[in-house]
């Protein structure tokens, strides 16, 4: 299903997006976050869903310039299908990539940012990041760059830079619990791949990387998996799904399925996650993968499956 977006006519001058805070009234108006002048605690979400829906969206803005999600609207129906949600978009400058964040209006984020450094108003150039800060946790929504197949700037080197940045982010912001979700483009362990030998030996057009740890299917190379493990360890993070489901599940334990025609038929990987700070572990009620691959019953229209997370309220546990 395609969704098309068009500019919303502005009544006044355009304001650049910035990291939003509950004390700044005009950015909140631009981004659909209403000002709450009361002293009551703000409600925080307990149910989450992440899905690489594989929906084509247009690039937004001039390359290098700030993109304003307030200038986009869903043009496919009336009233808008997301009327009960505040919605933020971060789209690639020039290609098919981006992220969206939908938060029910009954829940108020303290601020919204669109880059890992949280220091300026510009989005990541490929729209890979939306960060929401709540009173008791960060919610980081990412579309992690694919590792690619070659030792070049747009492939292995780009992914190494990303992994370094995300490691810096999780260690610098460890004072507040983190919920990190999205298509993370890595299968951490062999249990996360339906056919680990196939994926570890995969190659493109006979190319053999100079480093043996970069050999294999993007998302299943030894180097990617090691770096991901280091991010979890140094950030004191856990994989919510694997925490609840330690064993391999060939029926419904994978979130991505390969092309149903050719050698990838029936080959699947788990590359979509909810990663949580260890201190949130006792609050996990459920974390599930929904649907199946394109060749199986329960196909939802994308090569990725939705993944859900439910937490218990603060002060309670899942037991």
C-alpha–C-alpha distance, residues 200 and 206, integer Å: 14
Q: Give the tokens for residue 117.
A: 């450094």
Q: Give the tokens for residue 243.
A: 């925490």
Q: Which of 138, 143, 215, 241 is flagged as catalytic?
A: 143
Reference 114, options 144, 140, 94, 145; nearest CA is 140
Q: Give the tokens for residue 47.
A: 């149910």
Q: Give Cβ neighbours of residue 68 (< 8 Å, ≥ 6 apart).
A: 14, 15, 16, 17, 30, 61
Q: Which of 183, 214, 239, 272 is flagged as catalytic?
A: 183
Local structure of 286: helix, strand or coil: strand
Q: Known catalytic residue: 126?
A: no
* Helix or strand (DSSP H, E) at 26: helix 25-31
Q: Known catalytic residue: 143?
A: yes
Q: Give Cβ neighbours of residue 271 (< 8 Å, ≥ 6 apart).
A: 183, 184, 185, 186, 187, 192, 219, 255, 256, 304
**Residues annotated as catalytic (active site), given as ranges:** 143, 183
């Amino acid at each position: 299903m395609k969704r098309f977006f068009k500019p919303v006519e502005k009544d006044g001058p355009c304001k650049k997006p910035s990291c939003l805070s509950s004390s700044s009234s005009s950015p909140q108006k631009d981004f659909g976050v209403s000002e709450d002048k009361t002293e009551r605690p703000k409600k925080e979400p307990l149910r989450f869903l992440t899905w690489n829906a594989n929906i084509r969206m247009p690039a937004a803005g001039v390359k290098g310039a700030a993109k304003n999600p307030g200038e986009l609207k869903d043009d496919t129906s009336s009233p808008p299908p997301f009327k009960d949600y505040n919605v933020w978009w971060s789209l690639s400058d020039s290609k098919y990539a981006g992220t969206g964040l939908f938060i029910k209006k009954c829940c108020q984020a303290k601020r919204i940012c669109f880059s890992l450094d949280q220091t300026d108003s510009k989005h990541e150039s490929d729209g890979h990041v939306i960060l929401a800060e709540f009173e008791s946790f960060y919610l980081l929504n990412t579309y992690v760059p694919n590792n690619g197949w070659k030792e070049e700037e747009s492939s292995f080197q780009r992914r190494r830079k990303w992994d370094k940045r995300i490691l810096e982010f999780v260690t610098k912001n460890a004072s507040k619990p983190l919920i990190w979700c999205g298509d993370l483009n890595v299968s951490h362990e062999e249990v996360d791949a339906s056919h680990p030998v196939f994926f570890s030996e995969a190659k493109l057009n006979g190319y053999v990387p100079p480093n043996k740890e970069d050999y294999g299917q993007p998302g299943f190379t030894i180097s990617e998996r090691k770096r991901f493990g280091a991010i979890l360890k140094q950030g004191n993070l856990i994989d919510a799904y694997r925490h609840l489901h330690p064993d391999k599940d060939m029926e419904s334990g994978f979130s991505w399925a390969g092309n149903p025609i050719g050698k990838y038929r029936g080959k699947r990987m788990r590359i979509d996650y909810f990663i949580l700070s260890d201190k949130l572990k006792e609050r996990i009620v459920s974390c599930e993968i929904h649907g199946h691959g394109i060749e199986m019953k329960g196909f939802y229209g994308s090569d990725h499956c939705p993944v859900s997370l439910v937490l218990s309220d603060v002060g309670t546990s899942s037991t």
